[in-house]
Amino acid sequence: MTKEKSRGIDDVKEIFARMEKLASVPFVQKYVDSPPIAENRLALLFFFLCEEGMDRERAKTLCVTTGLVQLGLDTHESVRIRYEDTLVDERNRQLSVLAGDYYSAHYYHLLAEAGEVEAIRVLAEAIQSINEAKMKLYLSEKEDRLSSDGYIDLRKHIDTALYTAIVAHFAGSSESRRFWTSLFHETAAVECMIGAWEQLQWEENAPFGFTRLLLKIPGTTIGHVLSFVETKAMELMAVCEQLVRGFHSAEKQKLQDWIALFYGHRWNRLKRVIEEM
């Protein structure tokens, strides 16, 4: 790996390290199962901001704060509607809500301190849009009027609205805006499919989200769902690779290296296990 490529990956790792330090709150670590950092989306955001000529330190600040907002939203989303009627469960629910509030609010202080007033507005509007999409997703699922494509479209918006809002604000051209928005959407869809496959294959929890939606179809088995998810993931991954191949810029090789690094292990494991089924 060249020095420049290594620098890009090192910058991304520094963003993750900053986030982990800021998110290391003792009561959260002790009582709350915090969701993982959105590593892929933050790496892509950093590459986009660098592609637009932004100073690397400023880009890191925007990535860290956006990541904290995402962590807060994901923490809130992990709060179950129903808990056991025990003191421990009630405490965990309350602390999960407080942890989400802490992460989401912390970005405001960091951006204000950095003088990024416009970024505060951009992220606040994106948060509103995400919450509206979450309510639509919840109601559509509850009323059994959600197709698989409809689910993926809503999930893509929920998972990428923070990043595409930053793209829309900082992109220097319509071509750049279209490319990066599409890349965020398609990689998020790949993550959704691989996550659904991993949840069915290895987790002991009951199916939820996309897999639960598919299993509601009469006659559908887990085998059918795994096959569907594999096919869909391969289609979406091909779209991502085609997008990056058509991208002509200094960040192209970094994008290819990152996508290979981030998805390679999970993707190969998915294909290997399915071949053995």
Q: pLDDT at position 111, please?
A: 93
Structure confidence by residue, pLDDT tens digits, 213-269: 777 778 777 777 777 777 777 787 777 777 777 776 666 667 767 776 666 656 565
Specify the range with the lowest mean pLDDT, choosing from 54-58, 123-127, 156-160, 248-252: 248-252
Instruction: Decide if 274 contacts 226 (C-beta within 8 A).
Output: yes
State pTM to two decimals: 0.83
What gap in Å lies between CA 67 and CA 1, rounded to an integer?
A: 27
Q: pLDDT at position 277, please?
A: 47
CATH number at residue 160: 1.10.600.10
DSSP string, 208-264: -HHHHHHHTSTT--HHHHHHHHHHHHHHHHHHHHHHHHT--STTHHHHHHHHHHHHH
Structural domain count, the chain: 1
Host domain of residue 107 = 3-276
